[in-house]
Amino acid sequence: MAARCGWRSVYFLPLCYRAGAAPLRRRWELPNHGVSSQNRGNRHISSPPSPAFAGATYTELRELCAREPDTFWGSVASHRLTWSSSFQQVSDCDLNTGKIRWFLGGKLNVSVNCLDVHVAKDPEKVALIWEKDEPGTEERVTYRELLEMTCRLANTLKHHGVGRGDRVAIYMPVSPIAVAAMLACTRIGAVHTVVFAGFSSEALAGRIQDAQCKAVVTCNQGVRGGRLINLKATVDAAVKSCPSVQSVLVAQRTNHSTPMGKLDTPLEEAMSKESAECAPEPMDSEDMLFMLYTSGSTGKPKGIVHTQAGYLLYASLTHQYVFDYSPGDVFGCVADIGWITGHSYVVYGPLSNGATTVLFESTPVYPDPGRYWETVERLKINQFYGAPTAIRLLLKYDENWVKKYDRSSLKTLGSVGEPINNEAWEWFYNVVGDRRCPLVDTWWQTETGGVCIAPHPAEEGAEIRPAMAMRPFFGIQLALMDEKGKTITGNDVSGALCISKPWPGMARTIFGDHQRFVEAYFKPYPGHYFTGDGAYRSKDGYYQITGRMDDVINISGHRLGTAEIEDALDEHPDVPETAVVGVSHDIKGEVAFAFVVLKENVSEQQGKVIEELKKLVATKIAKYAVPDHFLVVKRLPKTRSGKIMRRILRKVAMEQTDSLGDVSTLDDPSVVMEIIEEHQRYKSRLAKA
């Protein structure tokens, strides 16, 4: 295989990397703090992250990570990844300036690590189980087939002029061909940007323009919950305003034939004419791998950039240890590839570890609320990783929707994307997991590349507690900061959640705007990465996430800036001003609440304007971003310098007006009463309706 794809003998590397600034000890040495390893917990890691750590306990490895991060990461990187040239230096990072570089001088190819290495060992192993919308119609793709598909797609991209460093937008739901498209980009050194297929044509166009994409890969239609979605039509509308796009490759998900324009190429047909081999491009560790747009508290969505080696290593390591993955397991992460969860735990983590990964195309309630568990039974899923919003939806139905299916294959349950409340945690753990499977609530972000905080049930002394007991992953050093920017010491404290040491999976920049990257993540607390979240550290040192500290909200696990919604609303000619805040919702976690000021002459036609505003948000961003609540007000609460005090609006929207806090800095405090009264009228209208 290696010879066939022109890749040099990369499969047998020394366990320790050569050269390197910090020489790595052959045999890992126990840290000696005068405490015997017996007392500090004696659970040896059954399959250590690198053979150099054989016989170590979790506690010992954690100490090594803290003391000598380069020793840890260097060993793990040389063991777990397949390099075409070894790296010379483990890291070169400075969290004061936002410089992050890992495994310098090394060369590798991500698709080789996700495909070729496994094909060489076991070509017929199933890589993907595509759980299509209709239950019982799943398709399996082996590692050999996925490599072939990837190479054909890579050659197709090449024939369309896509090469190293070029950006490719992928606008498709989760499917084998979408995974092949991601891997095909990595094969030839192109940079993919997957855009969630629920985004509107304008949102897609904005991302394509920012990334200056040369090509778009899409499919004719999407199929979800028994409904057809005309994706190609959305792409057609988007590319009209994207002169950088030279070709659109269109896969056929359904029999529906879509009109083909001059940019369009039928993808499967083109692939069938291409060779099934494609020499992998050797990439520098720090070359761009992909970018993924996500929301910040201000401005347009930002293209978060991840690079090759560090990202892949971190996805691979966290996939194994956070979920207790063992070879042979069927890994079921039901996220869409349009989000980072899909990148790290549907595609890159599982495939780099040679796992069988499930691609879930449907919804939790199609054709009925038993879908997830019927799928678990049929595919014999071992790890099930999903979002609290789906759990909150499902727990409203009869338990029999779960109980009637055999879930004995399940070993680990995982939750991601937003805080999981007690009720959802208990139901997931007790009903789905039969109190038998550890439930890991995993905290991380698009920017962190992989899970950073999660309970670790396999670790010595670990215990399971609802929505709690979260601890940092290997090499993650957490800090809580106070309002003055000082580190908060001790336990039973809350503060701004920061990470104080670099780790390989962290984002490298914001595409085209490194300054924004530095300002958003490294300026607030110099020397630390600021997450944007607040957290509580319990008496015994466990972490619990308390939520965003900025104007980012989380609707059904989808991150959105309230400023983005405001920008969309403000485009309405009759709306001079709006303010959007997040309020809690029992299933979606949070929903948007819009306070809207109308021009005087239109106040009679409120209903009509609100309908138009809903349409605006759906076309500018996505349907899920449309606020659940609109409240027309005469004016917004502003400080003397003209800043809208969203804090007060949030309190009003959440009906917590007895704890409004300090309103003395408002230009005219009487506005608060005005808005509270308007809100009460709104509530009574809702109650009557």
Enumerate residues 604-633 that contact ligand WT7 by CB under 6 A. none
Cβ closer to ligand WT7: 402 or 545? 545
The yes or no reply on residue 20 touching ligand WT7 (CB under 6 A) is no
CB of 89 to ligand WT7, least distance (A): 29
Q: Find the shortest distance in angstroms from Cβ 546 to ligand WT7.
A: 8
Q: Per rule CB under 6 A, is residue 545 in the interface with ligand WT7?
A: yes
DSSP secondary-structure letter at 666?
A: B
If one counts every other C-beta atom within 10 angstroms of the C-beta of residue 212, the result is 14
Token pair 């201000």 is at which residue?
A: 298
Could you say whether residue 340 binds ligand WT7 (CB under 6 A)? yes
Q: Which is nearer to ligand WT7, 103 or 325 (CB)?
A: 325
Tokens standing for residue 355: 């796992």
Sequence-ordered list of residues with C-beta below 8 angstroms from that of 414, at least 6 positions apart, any chain: 322, 323, 333, 383, 384, 385, 386, 439, 440, 441, 442
By CB under 6 A, tell whether 418 contacts ligand WT7. Answer: yes
CA 467 to chain centre: 19
In the region spanning residues 275 to 334, those forming contacts with ligand WT7, defined by CB under 6 A, are 294
Is 315:352 a contact under the CB 8 Å cutoff?
Answer: yes
Closest by alpha carbon to 575, among 520, 631, 647? Answer: 631
417 is a contact residue toward ligand WT7 (CB under 6 A): yes
* Residues binding ligand WT7: number (CB under 6 A): 21
Q: Is residue 551 a contact point for ligand WT7 (CB under 6 A)?
A: no
Quick check: 634 and 597 in contact, CB under 8 A?
yes
Beta-strand pair 167-171/191-194: parallel
Cβ-based nearer residue to ligand WT7, 227 or 523? 523
In the complex, minimum distance from the CB of residue 303 to ligand WT7, in angstroms, rounded to a whole number: 13
- What is the per-residue binding string for ligand WT7 in 363-402, x denoting contact by CB under 6 A? ----------------------------------------
- Give the interface segment with ligand WT7, choosing from 169-177, 335-343, 348-356, 561-569 (CB under 6 A): 335-343
Give Cα separations from 483 to 125, 170, 524 (angstroms).
Answer: 53, 41, 10
Does residue number 506 form part of the binding site for ligand WT7 (CB under 6 A)?
no
Interaction of residue 71 with ligand WT7, rule CB under 6 A: no
CB of 634 to ligand WT7, least distance (A): 33
**562 binds ligand WT7, rule: CB under 6 A:** no
* Rounded Cα–Cα distance for residues 208 and 236 (Å): 13
> What whole-number distance in Å separates Cα of residue 21 and Cα of residue 276?
40
Cis peptide before 49 (omega within 30 of 0): no
Give the residue with the Cβ less far from ligand WT7, 155 or 509: 509
Contact flag: residue 554 with ligand WT7 (CB under 6 A): yes
* Cα–Cα distance for residue pair 105/103, rounded to 1 Å: 6
443 belongs to the binding site for ligand WT7 (CB under 6 A): yes
Query: Closest Cα to residue 288, out of 514, 453, 9?
Result: 514
Alpha carbons 290 and 293: distance in angstroms, whole number: 10
Query: What character string, x for contact with ligand WT7 (CB under 6 A) and - otherwise, covers 180-199?
Result: --------------------
Q: Is 548 in the site for ligand WT7 (CB under 6 A)?
A: yes
CA distance 210 to 218: 18
Write out the residues near ligand WT7 by the rule CB under 6 A: 294, 339-341, 416-419, 441-446, 531-533, 545, 548, 554, 559
